[in-house]
Amino acid sequence: MNRAISGTLLFAAVAVLGTLFLSWLSYVGVRTALETEFQRRLSNVAAATASQISPQDIADARILGDEGTGYANLEVQLTALRATTGLANASLFDSARAVVFDCRGPEYPHEPTRLDTLAPGDVAEALAGHAIVTQAYTLSGATYRAGLAPVSGAGGRVAGVVAVEGREDYRPVLARFRRRLASTVFVIALAVAILAALRIRAGLAAERLERRLARAENLAAMGRLTATLAHEIKNPLAIIRGSAQRLGKLEPEAERMAGFIVDETDRLSRTVARYLQFARAEEGTGDAAAPGDAGAALRATLDLLDDECRARKVVVGRSDLEGEAPVALDAESLKQVFLNLILNALEAMPEGGRLDLSRAERGGRFEFAVRDTGSGVAPEIAGRIGEAFVTTKARGSGLGLFLTRRLVQSSGGDLEISGEPGRGTTCVVRLPRCRR
């Protein structure tokens, strides 16, 4: 399933990135087309105007200024050009880069053209006899370009240069197009994200369904096996129990040990019955009508396993285990819970270690903690321990802690398992206090 999720996320990322790339290409294409058309227009207007201007008028305007006919002719031509084309400005400067005529007013002639400051390289190119469109420049927050076309005089010398300046009025259109593209990309990305989320959700749902089906098949198989085992185990248990009772009567000194055998035989019989109930998918086995003492059950379990702990070289620490702890779970179920937890802890310490057990009461709930110094468990696995058939043991069935969790939950409690590899495991049983 992880591969399917990764594939879906990769597809979504490629789709979004592909949309971004295509949108960027579209934007660049439109921007280039608008810029090219704008520059072509400026170049054509400048060239057409330069072809109609007489070098003699330029010379006359330079010498006589606005009192000569040359200045008047330039004024008529350039003013009409500006009015009909909507250009920002039209001007003419001579080979010395001094303004001969400027539509902005009569105060500019004989002043250096402002283009010599804004685009000096382009001005030099035009004075060398080449028509050119300047690089973009900014004035008062607006972006402009100028088309420059030389006016040739006698002998092919450049008598002056016509400069037509236009504002890049296509930029607002380009900005709207950019915003529209951004909105489109956002909508597409959102749609892709939603589709990817739905795909992942459907995949996870299918995976959960597969797990439930597999679990149901396992339970059905285990049910058949358990029914057979229950029948085969109960008969030997009955013989063992009867023999232990007779042994206790025949050997008074062995009465205590015989009592243990009888009790454990009864407990084993009930455990087999619980496994059978589990296999038949029945509900938890807690009996609220017959509450038990969790504290007494834990102490009794420790007494039972005292020799086992010594044999495994495990030091047992007890903290506040005395006193009653009435809960809505029968004594036998409580012993089963603590026995499973403690045996698991002992198995995690094959070369010895320390086992700490403690009791606390918080918010009307008893908390019993079982901590070991064994091999520990990874956090991602700890969250799944307690599910059916989930185990960290090479030969474990994954049912012991599952039954333990079901018993605890049947009385309204919960079981929390945590740990770190190499630092041991902690199991905390929380059971509501029972009001007797």
Contact yes or no for 325/364 (Cβ under 8 A) = no
Phi, psi at 41, each rounded to 5°: -65, -50
Judged by DSSP in three states, 83 sits in helix
Q: What is the pLDDT of residue 41?
A: 93
CA atoms lying within 13 Å on the CB side of residue 342? 29
CATH 3.30.565.10 domain residues, the chain: 286-432
φ/ψ region of 246 (left if φ > 0, alpha if ψ in -120 to 50, else beta) reads alpha
Per CATH, domain 2-169 is 2.40.160.20: no
For the chain, how are helix, strand and coil distributed in percent, rounded to 5?
60, 20, 25
Q: Taking the CA atoms of 87, 89, 92 and 96 in sequence, report the sign of the dihedral they define.
A: negative
Regarding pTM above 0.75, the answer is: no
Element (H or E) spanning 425, and its range? strand 425-432
CATH 3.30.450.20 domain residues, the chain: 2-169
Q: What is the pLDDT of residue 173?
A: 87
Instruction: Give CA–CA dist 409/417, Å, rounded.
Output: 14
Cα dihedral angle (28, 31, 32, 35), rounded to 10 degrees? -160
Judged by DSSP in three states, 287 sits in coil
Q: What is the pLDDT of residue 286?
A: 46
Show pLDDT as tens, one digit a residue, over the chain (436 residues).
Answer: 577 788 888 888 999 999 999 999 999 999 999 999 999 999 999 999 999 999 999 989 888 888 889 999 999 999 999 999 889 999 999 989 999 999 988 878 888 999 989 999 999 999 999 999 999 999 888 899 999 999 998 788 999 999 999 999 888 888 899 999 999 999 999 999 999 899 888 888 888 888 888 777 776 776 666 666 666 676 676 667 777 777 666 666 667 667 777 777 777 777 676 666 555 544 444 454 468 899 999 999 888 888 888 888 999 998 888 888 899 888 888 998 999 899 889 988 888 899 999 999 888 899 999 999 988 877 766 666 656 555 555 454 556 777 888 888 888 899 988 888 888 899 999 999 987 6
Given 3.40.50.2300, 3.30.565.10, 3.40.190.10, 3.30.70.141, which CATH number is that of 286-432?
3.30.565.10
Among the listed residues 255, 331, 245, 323, the one whose alpha carbon sits nearest the alpha carbon of residue 286: 331
Q: What is the pLDDT of residue 265?
A: 75
Among the listed residues 368, 378, 364, the one whose alpha carbon sits nearest the alpha carbon of residue 404: 368
For residue 221, what are the β-bridge partners?
none
